[in-house]
Structure 1
Amino acid sequence: MPEGHSVHRIARQFDRNYVGRAVRASSPQGRFVEGASVIDERTVMSVRAVGKQMFLEFEGDVWLRVHLGMYGAWDFAGEILVDPTIASANGRMGQTNQRGTDLEGEPILDDAGENSLTSIGAPRRARVHVRMSEQTTGLADEGDQWPPPVVGQVRLRLMTEVTCADLRGPTACELQDPEQVQATIGKLGPDPLVDDVAEGEERFTRVVRRKPTAIGLLLMDQAVVSGIGNVYRAEMLFRARQNPHTPGRDVPEDVVRGLWRDWVKLLRTGVETGQMMTMDDLSDEDYRKAMASRDDRHWVYHRAGLPCRVCGTTIVVEEAAGRKLYWCPNCQKG
């Protein structure tokens, strides 16, 4: 499932390529024909990302709410003005160096075919086709055909004269009025990139500290905090050396506050790099390895049966509310 950093990155692409422009909207799949007809030929006024949800405002107080869910993705094609904070040399979103410095040598492609070792560059236009989701495996080659052919089940296609965005497999794709948008956002927990960070910390701490629910479940509850998914959940708890089964009300307040502050840091890094990089203070060599391989970016996630990077204890995996939870029984005793 795309986590919060991916949705914020997608929103930035819409901000640069769609806001202020009229769009042609269609539903090649046929499941959003009525909604597409409503926003067809309307101008995009603004875009908001909150947690794992994105909201596109169209003229006339009409909003499009999209929740990608487990399998949703946006595909962009055409002339794309790339946000300099998320750009890469090959036009792929998600390839910036979080340190903001140039690393010499040939670009390294990670195990998903992504060029991850480039510095933040200036805005530019490039004819590219790029997929925005957590399970991206490569770029599609569509040549210069315009509009690009519809491939697969496209729920919604949004086109300007030069840019195309295709939405596939979302959990939610619906139109809302302003009141409905506010009601939806009102049900979500704080998002460090949307809400005041200090106020968000107080709100998060207050909710967690009164809950009997395990902290490992609370971090995944979008009503408690927005944007955290399975990867960030496991990594944040390890970084805090916190047992995932401890009830929220029993987690020390300083640890709860530390979790929020760590989320602020990790979310910003994720938006800047496009990668869920959760290991700090790496040498240049280890950093390059981490950006080249997802297996080298995390402390415990996806490492079941392997030795803990800190103590050597075998990392365990278990089911928690239908999702896999990875943790170290030794480092996370507390």
Structure 2
Amino acid sequence: MDALRLVSISAVVLGHAYLADLTFSPYLEIWRMPLFFFLTGYFWTRGRPWAADALSRFRSLMVPYLLWSVLMTLVVLSWSRRSQIDGVTLADLVSAGWYGGADQPPPWWAFWFISVLFFVALLRRALERAPSWAGWAVALAGLAAAELVPESAIARTPLGIGLAAPCLFYVLAGEAFRRRVQPRIRRHRTLIGVALVAAGVGAVALGLPPHNIKWGGFGLFPWTPLTGTAMAAGMVLVFGAFVERRLRAFARGTGTGRAIRAGITALTRTGTVVVLLHGLVLMEAMRVGIEDNLMKFVVALTVSWAVGLALLATPLARPLAGVPQQWFPFGREAGA
């Protein structure tokens, strides 16, 4: 499952590296961001006090968000000195970056996801003790609002907080899948998973509009959200069965199980850093003349992951990555 998290992180960078040049973009957008929220629900732990959980998530999500925003502000100031800001004032660029939501400009780029994830988690925790139908009602009302409110209004709220309600749908779906659906699928998980992903691809091929969640776009209600969650569930089945078996077989055959586990775990712990940093890396790559989309993707992902791994081994891990300082050299856990 951690390997699937790596895929979801890579998919975020892939979409930004290619942008409009990605010919299969609709097939990526149908599941890319829903998978993030789906996995949040899939790994959801019930019963935590709201205040304690809010403080913990503020430290792990919003503290890195705010500190990286300070860094991005310094970057923008540097751009202004180099006369690299065109068509917008420095004040407008910085204020839009700090305001958050859909209109966040580069280098903030994907920051909206971290703030929205924070508010979605708080909303889910607040609704945890309510009847299950109440959470679904809030989520469906959010999706309906996204469909009815014009001009991406919910996405243009401060820090994108208006997106919390519709994105709650994917969190609840992930939670329900793990608790109620997956345990009943005892055979042919890989086959069922592939079928769900293939069905989603087929739906897009037939014209189903994909997501554009940053701008409040949830496609065709309710079919696009349902398709995104079905594809996320299919990926969970495939990675939880087929991919896990292949990784275990490879680990046994090579004796590298501990190293593989430690490496995957370390990379997943850098997810917040990758989300917050890769936009800047992409822009700097283009500034130095890297125009090939594949190369931009490789550079952005590699550099962002490298920075995240370096931070894990330092006291900056907590404030900048949102996780405790920890390192896994050669597969043996060590840390502080």
Q: TM-score, normalised by structure 2?
A: 0.25
Q: TM-score, normalised by structure 1?
A: 0.26
Higher helix share: 2
Higher strand share: 1
